[in-house]
Amino acid sequence: MVLETVRALLQFTTILPVGKVPADFTLLTRHSYLYPLAGYLIGGTTAGICLLVQDPGIAAAVAVALLLLITGANHFDGLLDLGDGVMAHGDRERRVRALTDRYLGTGGVAMGAAVLLITFSSLQALHPFAAALLTAEVGGQFAMVMLTCYGKPFHEGLHSRFYHDAKPFFPLAALALCLPLILLPLTPIQLGAAFSLMIATPLVLNAISNRLFGGVNGDVTGASHEITRAIILAAIALI
């Protein structure tokens, strides 16, 4: 059962070959606190490959490309949709329509470009960036646990399934999975900033989403991963 749950997690968060037969999706919705485990795999794989690249700029670009590739750009797609919803003019109904439709607008392009630029420039400044990238990726996955538990859905869909299956202890369980990050070669201030931001960022996004859309959906949850990862990387680079 444990292996099947992890397989469901990796099938949802990555494009890695973990079996041709789809795993039981309810195993993931009932154990979504395991998201940080995917962060260790995604961040560790990306960082390990990029350690072979000596040039800081190229290494940072390869890292961004690998993050998008390994995750299938699934969460990045949510970021683009969130950008459209945030930048849309008009009432809540129009914003929700921009968030949930299949078209990409200027707002999505702008938000996607901004997050990618912050991610790239932070990685370039941190070269070698293995510890920072692993921390940021795990932190981004933790952010999704926060929104899964506290982001009240504004309609029935993928996110509502996670939300209704989530339990109050999920954030604490996910936080426990993040504790091995303290063993990485980062300063206490950098680690403190990372842990603070992976909690604060999804809470801020939840407040913004409630105000603009009347709740949260899967796009907002996925976007929280991309935004939190970029913010953590920037903070570690600046400290």
The per-residue pLDDT for range 108-165, each reduced to its tens digit, is: 999 999 999 999 999 999 988 999 999 999 999 999 999 999 999 998 888 999 999 9
The per-residue pLDDT for range 79-96, each reduced to its tens digit, is: 999 999 999 888 899 999
The C-alpha angle 109, 114, 116, rounded to 5 degrees, equals: 95
Q: What is the pLDDT of residue 129?
A: 94
Is residue 1 pLDDT above 90, yes or no?
no
Q: Across-strand partners of 111?
A: none
Average pLDDT, the chain: 94
Q: What is the pLDDT of residue 43?
A: 97
CA distance 135 to 235: 12
- Nearest in space to 212 (alpha carbons), one of 132, 101, 125, 94: 94
CA distance 63 to 47: 7
Q: What is the pLDDT of residue 19?
A: 74
Q: What is the pLDDT of residue 167?
A: 95
Q: What is the pLDDT of residue 203?
A: 97
Q: What is the pLDDT of residue 20?
A: 74
The per-residue pLDDT for range 3-58, each reduced to its tens digit, is: 888 899 999 999 988 877 788 889 899 999 999 999 999 999 999 999 999 999 99
CA distance 158 to 75: 13
Side-chain-facing half-sphere of 109: CA atoms under 13 Å:
4
Q: What is the pLDDT of residue 21?
A: 76
Segment holding 13, helix H or strand E? helix 2-13
The per-residue pLDDT for range 186-229, each reduced to its tens digit, is: 999 999 999 999 999 999 999 999 999 999 999 999 999 999 99
The structural domains of the chain, with segments of one domain joined by +, span 2-238
